[in-house]
Amino acid sequence: MTGSFNDDAAKIRMTRRRWIADEVSGSRAALVGAHAQHLARVLRGRVGQEFDIATGDSIRRARISSVADDRVEFELGEVVPAAAIPNLTIVLSIFKFDRMEWAIEKSVELGVSRIFPVVAQRTEAHLAKAVQKRVERWQRIALQASEQSRRASAPEILQPQPLHAAVTGARGAGFVLAESEEQLTLKDALQTSSAVGEITLAFGPEGGWSESELTLFKGAGWTFASLGSNILRTETAVIAAVAITLAEL
């Protein structure tokens, strides 16, 4: 590209806001649709402003080259160092949507790489029926949380499926958070595990795992672990377990 970015402005603004591009082509990138509208209308983006843009395989310093209500284009500059995202998947049983959205947002900010929503036996029937309509909203929440926390990419959010699909298809070492486990804490389980690479954590619905689900986990070789003697809400358990796991990783 020609020209150079404003180094003085960069010094003043040490931490530039980060966006995850919707389109990338050569030395140009773009935000489109509602994604662009937020920058153009709400934040009043203007030509010449500088941001960090995640392009899928790198983070690039970028300058706005054009602004429209439904499309903001950028001229890409040099590569910016980015932290690696750990290989941490969470299997999240469907629970009350407002609390589940909070858990998704915060776990994304912490750094999970993959979210697998599942319908458990004790998932409330009306939530299971409505869940397919929520995925697009969860993806938007995950994208916004990724940009806010300066991630290089948004996590993958899978289509909701029955629990069996997540248990048998888990990547790496699997740890299921279970109230029935009274001895082994998640921290100790992670420290004594020989797991290398990807880790998967599973969280039950508000009614807890059924006996048949616990048997399913056991048969698939998952490790049962506890977060202590306190009974936590599902969303609290998610954040606590993700934080512990990332600290151990």
156 has pLDDT over 60: yes
pLDDT digits (tens, 9 = 90+) for 4-20: 544 444 443 446 788 88
Same fold, 7-80 and 88-248: no
Both tokens of 233, joined, read: 């809400």
pLDDT, mean of residues 162-169: 91
pLDDT at position 9 is: 42
CATH 2.40.240.20, applies to 7-80:
yes
pLDDT digits (tens, 9 = 90+) for 192-225: 876 657 899 999 998 899 999 999 999 999 999 9
pLDDT at position 15 is: 64
Asked if residue 30 lies in contact with residue 71, where contact means CB atoms within 8 angstroms, the answer is: yes
Pairwise CA distance, residues 36 & 158, whole Å: 24
pLDDT, mean of residues 59-80: 91
Q: Work out the pLDDT band at 121, boundaries 50, 70, 90.
A: very high
Please tell me the pTM assigned to this model: 0.80
pLDDT digits (tens, 9 = 90+) for 224-233: 999 988 888 9
pLDDT at position 3 is: 46
191 has pLDDT over 70: yes
pLDDT, mean of residues 166-179: 89
Cβ count within 10 A of residue 217: 20
pLDDT, mean of residues 123-143: 93
b/e for 5-26, b at 16 or more Cβ within 10 A?
eeeeeeeeeeebebbbbeebee
105 has pLDDT over 70: yes
pLDDT digits (tens, 9 = 90+) for 48-63: 999 999 887 788 899 9
What residue spans define the domains of the chain? Answer: 7-80, 88-248
Both tokens of 32, joined, read: 């489109």
Q: For domain 88-248, give the CATH number.
A: 3.40.1280.10
1 has pLDDT over 50: no
